[in-house]
Amino acid sequence: MGFLDDMRELSSVSVGLLKNPGAFIREFALLIRNDPESYYDFLGDDVLEAQDSGFSKDQKPLWLNLGYWEMARTYPEACADLARRLARAARLGEGDVVLDAGFGFGEQDLLWVQEFDVARIIGVNVTQLHVDVARKRVEARGLSDRIDLRLASATDIPLEAGSVDKVVALESAFHFPTREDFFREAFRILKPGGRLATADCMPWVGEKPTGLINWLGWRRWGVPQENIYDREVYQQKLEAHGFVDVEVESIRHHVFPGMHRYAEKRHSGVEMDRIEVEISPQDVENVLGVEMWRKQGGLTDYVIFSAVKP
Ligand SMILES: C[S@@+](CC[C@H](N)C(=O)[O-])C[C@H]1O[C@@H](n2cnc3c(N)ncnc32)[C@H](O)[C@@H]1O
């Protein structure tokens, strides 16, 4: 986007915000704070903005990712499929001790214990709200002895060197200050032969998003500018931190279109549990929805990585 496009976009957003002083103050605060905690406090119990129901619905699934929609047609199932996809990339299995960086409300941890029979998960998260709610949910299912959730950053993990079999980050590493500091920590805490796997957002190969609108987006969502690089650079950085056997797969065709169709329905007022999306082959081929991401931060690729500590 050029400077004029930036200005056009910015003035239309500003006019809207000036009509709503509450939203104006909130947006201003998000930009000043520039951290993921503020953004997730604002989101509340829903992945989509303005859909928070204040934790008033006991049974509401509390996923906070974009979902993997190859087969799934409901939001919770798409999120669970993304968690399963990442678990397979990490080769999660019986007896594994796992570090989960950025666990949201802990949905994936419950799934990994139940479906992959991992022995123990230690989760770290910087958002107090997520830690509090996720701990309660784990406790309610009687799994506190296997899922230990802590307030800490993925860039400073309170674990000893060589203490875990797997490190996973489900749609969270783009937030970490910085993602490379997380790679360093992951390498440190993994046992030799252990594996790191991430599901992560980044620019499409060769794209270098710049400009005021993107910069404002990164600040609003708490995404450090140092994390804005494509999957080829990502792989080089993993290798530079000592990882080997790096596997890289872009799954954006099965992420953005489904989320786009889901958000359309949800924003028109339909409840999450009543939405079944339709995704056409053209939607998949055209990566429907990706243009919105290009305009708002330029994170137009969605990739699953896996890498081994030798
Ligand atoms: C998009 S949400 C994904 C949540 C969850 N993995 C899911 O799929 O539902 C990103 C998560 O990363 C967490 N996060 C952001 N920065 C972090 C950091 N430095 N260390 C640990 N967690 C962080 C956020 O609080 C949030 O829970």
Domain count, the chain: 1
Q: Is the CB of 38 under 6 A from ligand 1?
A: no
Whole-number Å distance, alpha carbon 34 to ligand 1 midpoint, is 15
For residues 145-165, give the mean pLDDT.
Answer: 98
- In this prediction, residue 31 carries a pLDDT of 87
Residue percentage of the chain with pLDDT more than 70: 94
Pick from 230, 231, 296: which is nearest to 263 by CA?
296
Point out the ligand 1 atom lying closest to the alpha carbon of residue 153.
Answer: 20
Answer whether residue 41 is part of any domain: yes
For residues 125-149, give the mean pLDDT.
Answer: 97
For residues 211-228, give the mean pLDDT.
Answer: 92
Q: Are 248 and 235 in contact (CB under 8 A)?
A: yes
Q: Are 40 and 127 in contact (CB under 8 A)?
A: yes
Answer whether residue 19 is part of any domain: no
Answer whether residue 14 is part of any domain: no
What are the tokens at 285?
């081929």
Answer whether residue 115 is part of any domain: yes
Kindly report, residue by residue over 229-242, the tens digit of the pLDDT.
Answer: 999 999 999 999 99
Q: Is the CB of 227 under 6 A from ligand 1?
A: no
Whole-number Å distance, alpha carbon 70 to ligand 1 midpoint, is 23
Point out which residues pair with 190 in neighbouring strands: 164
What are the tokens at 1?
């986007």
As a dihedral over the C-alpha atoms of residue 82, residue 88, residue 90, residue 96, rounded to 10 degrees, the angle is 110
Q: CA angle, 158 as apex, 155 and 163 as ends, to 5°? A: 105
For residues 46-68, give the mean pLDDT.
Answer: 92
Q: Is the CB of 68 under 6 A from ligand 1?
A: no
As a dihedral over the C-alpha atoms of residue 288, residue 5, residue 234, residue 149, rounded to 10 degrees, the angle is -70
Range of the domain at 268: 34-308
Nearest CA, atom 21, ligand 1: 125
What are the tokens at 112?
């990994």
Mutate to test the pocket of ligand 1, among 77, 171, 175, 304 (most ligand atoms within 8 A of CB): 175
For residues 39-52, give the mean pLDDT.
Answer: 91
**Gap between the Cα atoms of 98 and 253, Å rounded:** 28
What are the tokens at 193?
């032969």
pLDDT surpasses 70 at 41: yes
Residue 69, CA distances (Å) to 65, 175, 186, 277 in order: 12, 23, 28, 9
Pick from 271, 225, 230: which is nearest to 252 by CA?
230
Kindly report, residue by residue over 93-108, the tens digit of the pLDDT.
Answer: 999 999 999 999 999 9
DSSP state string for 143-157: -TTTEEEEE--TTS-
**Gap between the Cα atoms of 269 and 143, Å rounded:** 35
Secondary structure class of 100 (helix, strand, coil): strand
Contacts of residue 132, defined as CB under 8 A and 6 or more positions apart, other chains included, come to: none
- In this prediction, residue 8 carries a pLDDT of 66
Answer whether residue 271 is part of any domain: yes
Q: Is the CB of 125 under 6 A from ligand 1?
A: yes
Point out the ligand 1 atom lying closest to the alpha carbon of residue 130.
Answer: 27
Answer whether residue 26 is part of any domain: no
Residue bearing the bigger pLDDT, 111 or 28: 111
Phi-psi category of residue 161: left, alpha or beta, with phi > 0 → left and psi -120 to 50 → alpha:
beta
pLDDT surpasses 80 at 17: no
Q: Are 202 and 304 in contact (CB under 8 A)?
A: no
Q: Is the CB of 153 under 6 A from ligand 1?
A: yes
Q: What single-letter DSSP state applies at residue 21?
A: H
**Gap between the Cα atoms of 299 and 214, Å rounded:** 9
- In this prediction, residue 307 carries a pLDDT of 98
Whole-number Å distance, alpha carbon 11 to ligand 1 midpoint, is 31
pLDDT surpasses 70 at 51: yes
Whole-number Å distance, alpha carbon 3 to ligand 1 midpoint, is 32
Whole-number Å distance, alpha carbon 150 to ligand 1 midpoint, is 12
Whole-number Å distance, alpha carbon 5 to ligand 1 midpoint, is 31
Whole-number Å distance, alpha carbon 172 to ligand 1 midpoint, is 5
- Model confidence band, residue 273 (pLDDT cutoffs 50, 70, 90): confident
CATH of the domain at 228: 3.40.50.150
Q: Are 164 and 191 in contact (CB under 8 A)?
A: yes
